[in-house]
């Protein structure tokens, strides 16, 4: 197949592009390199059948030749970017998504939109774990709104093109994902903890650490994305791991795995930080025959090994 992956220089986009290229597909990787990694691009360019195009999807695009599938992972997803790139995030999720949907129409290609668990905001206890039918509790004016609302708009745009134009579309709501090739300055808990522990610095926990998350290893995620594209499910699908762990437990596990003596320090929690986050994976299990297989302790060890090997670099 001929496959376009946007955001190919990013964390998930890199792994997805690599999977397709190694499977023998022709892969066009696209990224504007605002947050993308040059090292990821170089690694992908070493694979047969991979071509890289530097382009911002907010700008019109026309690609020659056939395209069978488009996977849209173009959007800064790090909390560290929510303040400095807020406008860019919203434009990427609106104008950028429309440009890609128009390209999918022109090419008669399947379009898969990467969405996020942030669409659920901070859910109340009766909506835990989160099902795809839950409409969310999002602060539309808060500091996280550009990303949360941007992704919600991207979902709405994708479904509108499906209903109005008969476009073949898929939507995956991605929960916390981790693994090799994450940015060291990503801003999320796990890469922060690993970088701090390997550097001998205190691990910074926002709040008392009792808030929970569920962590999905990137290889499990990529498998689920591929199965979603191959399925006939148009409605959003939660993709993640339903094994729940507190942030304090994450920090302690990282310290243990790193062999670090770093202490824990506790600071104020950011506004609208969710108290609990765990996906209901019933739809993924039933429709895709998929469930995560990587135990989080083993996944943490693999991720730490990658960070340790790249510690001398400015960005893994």
Of the CA atoms within 13 Å of residue 86, those in its CB half-sphere come to 10
- 147 assigned to active site: yes
Find the catalytic residue in 134, 147, 161, 178: 147
Q: Other C-beta atoms within 10 Å of 314: how many?
A: 7
Locus of tokens 């090994």: 305
Are β-strands 2-6 and 26-31 bridged in parallel, bridged antiparallel, or unpaired?
Answer: parallel
| Separation of alpha carbons 203 and 188, rounded Å | 12
Asked whether 218 and 11 are in contact (CB, 8 A), the reply is yes
Nearest residue to 273 (alpha-carbon basis) of 99, 113, 141, 142: 142
Nearest residue to 173 (alpha-carbon basis) of 125, 110, 129, 124: 129
Catalytic sites, residue numbers:
147
């Amino acid at each position: 197949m001929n496959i376009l992956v946007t955001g190919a220089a990013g964390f998930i986009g890199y792994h997805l592009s690599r999977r397709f290229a190694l499977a023998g597909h022709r892969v066009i990787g696209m990224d504007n390199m605002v947050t993308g990694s040059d090292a990821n691009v170089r690694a992908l360019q070493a694979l047969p059948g991979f071509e890289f195009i530097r382009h911002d999807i907010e700008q019109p695009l026309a690609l020659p030749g056939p395209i069978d599938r488009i996977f849209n992972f173009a959007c800064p997803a790090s909390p560290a970017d929510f303040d400095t790139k807020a406008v860019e995030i919203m434009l990427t999720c609106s104008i950028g998504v429309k440009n890609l949907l128009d390209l999918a129409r022109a090419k008669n290609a399947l379009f898969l939109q990467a969405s996020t668990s942030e669409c659920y905001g901070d859910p109340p206890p009766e909506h835990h774990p989160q099902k795809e039918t839950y409409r969310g509790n999002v602060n539309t004016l808060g500091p996280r709104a550009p990303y949360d609302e941007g992704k919600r708009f991207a979902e709405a745009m994708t479904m509108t093109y499906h209903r109005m134009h008969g476009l073949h579309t898929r939507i995956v709501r991605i929960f916390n994902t981790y693994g090799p090739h994450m940015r060291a300055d990503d801003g999320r808990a796990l890469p922060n903890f690993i970088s701090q522990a390997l550097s001998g610095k205190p691990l910074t926990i926002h709040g008392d650490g009792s808030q929970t998350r569920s962590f999905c290893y990137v290889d499990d995620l990529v498998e689920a994305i591929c199965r979603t594209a191959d399925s006939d499910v148009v409605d959003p699908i939660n993709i993640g791991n339903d094994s729940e762990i507190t942030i304090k437990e994450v920090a302690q596990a990282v310290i243990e795995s790193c062999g670090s003596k770093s202490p824990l320090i506790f600071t104020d929690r950011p506004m609208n930080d969710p108290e609990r986050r765990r996906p209901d994976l019933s739809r993924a299990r039933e429709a895709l025959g998929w469930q995560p297989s990587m135990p989080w302790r083993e996944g943490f060890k693999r991720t730490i090994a990658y960070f340790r090997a790249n510690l001398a670099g400015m960005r893994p």
